Chain A
Amino acid sequence: MIRLQEISKHFGPLHVLQGVSADIPEGSVTALIGPSGSGKSTLLRCVNLLEIPEAGTLTMGTETMQFRGTTPPIDAVLRMRRQTGMVFQNFQLFPHRSVIENVMEGLVTVLRWPRAKAVERAMALLEKVDMAHKAQEWPATLSGGQQQRVAIARALAPSPRVLLCDEPTSALDPSLATEVIQVLRVLAEEGMTMLMATHDLRLAASIGQQVIFLDGGRIIEAGTPDALFNHPTQAETRTFVASLSDA
């Protein structure tokens, strides 16, 4: 279980997260939806501590961290972060490393795996995202969809407890988005815990078991995709869902 309790965060005068509490059950997929600026990306980044919340509590497995407005010690941050993997909107592959080296990077540099073992694990993951044939290529030679699949393999390599996806398909055209959604669906079916911020209704509805609607730094409504998309109880949710299906 990943538990967020009363997570609060400001950017300057802007109160981006106003006491957000949510339980992310393990083995399932939770989608964060909401308009731009609603705080969904920030919430995601609070889970792996790329943003440090000012107040609230974050629990992941046996680790708990309470935020009191100070920077937590780096070893505690790293302990928490090691339970997460992250996929970015713009992929952020390391351009100076080949595809397989990208996937090996966390294993070799952080976990200090021997190279041969890391190569084996990286190849297995590249097979899984159907990118094994590009193992020796440079990232810059790949399409966006291919880069994102490699990025997913890179995030999975250190066996995280949860995969955080920040708008994983937003930088892709529909056909490339489909191949990325395919990969995420397979992971979801295998029971990978995922938390994703997305604008992609198709992504949220097709692989999410839980959908959380954020607006103005608060959770407005949470529930199954069917409940949220077809029978929203809150006016804001209804407006937002309508705007998504219009687009």
Chain B
Amino acid sequence: MPETTATLIPAWLQLMADSFWPLLYAGLKFTVPLTLISFAAGLVLAFLVALVRLFGPAPLVWLVRFYVWLIRGTPLLVQLFVIFYGLPSVGVVLDPLPAALIGFTLNVGAYNSEVIRAAIESISKGQWEAAYSLSMTRAQALRRTVMPQAARVAVPPLSNSFISLVKDTSLAAVLTVPEIFQAAQRIAAVTYEPLVLYLEAAMIYLAFSSVLTALQARLEKRYGQHAMFAGKLR
């Protein structure tokens, strides 16, 4: 029966087309800001934690090690539940979006502090000494000599972490943040088409990650410039 097939194929396509803008809108309105803000704040946190671990006084070092241990050793989903559903019991009531931002920032901070610390430690002692021999202070040596080189080392793992974060933001759905996945769930609940909707959500995440992967390649090229001229990178 040609009529049935003719109406069947457009039905799911039609649904996909109809739900594309709501999903993309949810992505642009919530997923993207959630990712960008928590990654930026998380990187600042990670940098501070790395500096404390490398140069800080012992009690502070223990404090930040405890923080990294705690965050890395527990599931992100559980952390989000503690922040959003648990903290109100002790009087800390957060809206879904701030709760998600805090959870993701703490995560990005913990994981990437190790990345940044390792990147700084990968720069040879001789580079520090060359900077010191020019009478630079430690802050100047770090900013002018060590960090620019450490950044090149850190870009690939940081990009990995960024791409993971884009996908992890889907966990904000359980805190009722109306991001991509939550939007897909809502539409699936009324259309009874979970396969179509979740595949479509997956495709939008895939598109976002692909753009970021391309950006990563450009960043690596930029930070690797001096090595590339020596034929080390290519």
Contact = CB atoms under 8 A, between A and B. Distances in A.
A101 B127 CA distance: 15
A94 B135 contact: no
B130 A81 contact: no
B81 to A, nearest CB: 44
Interface string B206-234: 00000000000000000000110110100
Interface string B123-147: 0001101111111110010001100
A81 B230 contact: no
A139 B145 CA distance: 14
A155 B126 contact: no
B132 A140 contact: no
Contacts of A174: none
B148 interface: yes
B230 A141 contact: yes
Contact of B227 (A94, A95, A97, A105): A95
A110 B136 contact: yes
Which residue, of B129, B130, B232, has the highest number of chain A Cβ atoms within 10 A? B130
A81 to B, nearest CB: 5
Interface residues of A, number: 29
A86 B129 CA distance: 9
A52 B140 CA distance: 20
Contact of A86 (B133, B140, B148, B226): B133
Contact of A92 (B127, B137, B226, B227): B127
Nearest to A89: B126
B35 interface: no
A210 B65 CA distance: 53
B138 to A, nearest CB: 8
Interface in B180-218: none
A90 interface: yes
Interface residues of B, number: 22
B59 to A, nearest CB: 20
B149 interface: yes
Interface string B107-134: 0000000000000000000110111111
Interface in A42-97: 48, 50, 74, 78, 81-82, 84-86, 88, 90, 92-97
A96 B149 contact: yes
A84 B133 contact: yes
Contact of B140 (A88, A90, A110, A140): A110
A94 B130 contact: yes
Contacts of A199: none
Nearest to B134: A106
B136 A141 contact: no
Contact of B129 (A50, A105, A109, A139): A50
B230 A105 contact: no
B226 A96 contact: yes
A30 B130 CA distance: 22
Interface in B139-179: 140, 144-145, 148-149, 152
B152 to A, nearest CB: 8
A151 B43 CA distance: 34
A126 B229 CA distance: 21
Contact of A90 (B126, B136, B152, B227): B126
Contacts of A109: 134, 136, 140, 144
Interface in A178-233: none
Contact of B133 (A74, A81, A138): A81
Which residue, of B135, B148, B226, has the highest number of chain A Cβ atoms within 10 A? B135
B129 A88 contact: yes
Nearest to B132: A50
A106 B140 CA distance: 11
B134 A138 contact: no
Contacts of B145: 94
A158 B130 contact: no
Nearest to B133: A86
A92 B126 contact: yes
Given A92-B130, A95-B149, A109-B140, A158 B226 contact: no
Interface of B: 126-127, 129-137, 140, 144-145, 148-149, 152, 226-227, 229-230, 232
